[in-house]
Amino acid sequence: GIQVEQSPPDLILQEGANSTLRCNFSDSVNNLQWFHQNPWGQLINLFYIPSGTKQNGRLSATTVATERYSLLYISSSQTTDSGVYFCAVERAGTASKLTFGTGTRLQVTL
Amino acid sequence: KAGVTQTPRYLIKTRGQQVTLSCSPISGHRSVSWYQQTPGQGLQFLFEYFSETQRNKGNFPGRFSGRQFSNSRSEMNVSTLELGDSALYLCASSLYGLADLYQETQYFGPGTRLLVL
């Protein structure tokens, strides 16, 4: 099956710092989503971004589908950004079967 | 629109018992997928239903089963529970479950935490 690797696995930042999270995938995809999992387990959809660049407030994401990677940028981080960030992909022809990476655990400190 | 809802939110069972979890998708969504999240294995796909039919299945034993009703609500059942079934079970919905054609986003519910003793 498709492989999804995320880096770094853990990240500790001071409030106000910027960060870049990376997601590499091993095959062509028709769906790539970034999620933030809060402490209660809820997966919150950040971006649907199989290709191109999107921005939403302090967050932005870029997917270079031809090179099989995606980046999530967090600027001016806040303590509420803490949690686990997952990249998930769906390979063409696999209806609604997201394959998740192992996540990046982010801790933002004061 | 109301989001994806899952019931119950927490559940404690003992080995050998069976359990049924429920998921109500976002209104109008017809595709429902289930995922299991454990510390050791991460997030893994269980199965996906569309129009009351299982359309895709992950690599889980037959003890894990599901169904979908005509109103798109879905249930999953785990029989003969094992300690390793302790996990967060997440349900996700999308319109058609066909990102190839519709560039869809999957939306997740809050999950059901199952503890098997």
Distance in Å, alpha carbon of B27 to nearest chain A alpha carbon: 17
Position A96 scores a pLDDT of 64
> Which residue type sits at B49?
Y
| Percent of chain A that is helix, strand, coil (3-state, to 5) | 5, 60, 35
Distance in Å, alpha carbon of B48 to nearest chain A alpha carbon: 7
Tokens at B49, concatenated: 């239903």
Burial of residue B94 (CB within 10 Å: 0-12, 13-18, 19+) is buried
The residue assigned the tokens 């880096």 is A7
Which residues contact residue B39 at a Cβ distance below 8 angstroms, ignoring those fewer than 6 apart?
A: none
State pLDDT tens for residues B42-90: 999 999 999 999 998 999 999 999 999 999 999 999 999 999 999 999 9
Which of A40, A95, A103 comes nearest B55 by C-beta? Answer: A95
As a whole-number percent, the residues of chain B with pLDDT over 90 amount to 85
Interface membership of B53 toward A (CB under 8 Å) = no
CB contact under 8 A, B100 and A86: no
DSSP string, B12-45: EE-TT--EEEEEEPPTT--EEEEEEEETTTEEEE
Position B99 scores a pLDDT of 67
Which of B94, B103, B113 comes nearest A96 by C-beta? Answer: B94
Which residues contact residue B3 at a Cβ distance below 8 angstroms, ignoring those fewer than 6 apart?
A: B26, B107, B109
Q: pLDDT tens digits, chain A, 110 residues: what are they?
A: 899 999 999 999 999 999 999 999 999 888 899 999 988 889 999 999 999 999 999 999 999 999 999 999 999 999 999 999 999 998 876 666 889 999 999 999 99
What is the spatial distance between Cα A22 and Cα B3, in angstroms, rounded to a whole number? 28
CB contact under 8 A, A42 and B105: no
Cis omega (within 30 of 0) for bond into A8? yes
Residues of B in contact with A86 (CB under 8 A): 43
> Which residue type sits at A85?
Y
Tokens at A49, concatenated: 């971004």
CB contact under 8 A, B113 and A50: no
- Strand ranges inside chain B, DSSP E: 5-7, 10-13, 19-24, 31-38, 42-50, 53-57, 64-68, 74-78, 87-94, 107-108, 112-116
Interface membership of B114 toward A (CB under 8 Å) = no
CB contact under 8 A, B110 and A40: yes
Q: Given pLDDT bands bounded at 50, 70 and 90, which one contains residue B100? A: low
The answer to whether the CB of B50 falls within 8 A of the CB of B97 is yes
What is the spatial distance between Cα B73 and Cα A74, in angstroms, rounded to a whole number? 36
Position A94 scores a pLDDT of 66
CB contact under 8 A, A45 and B100: no
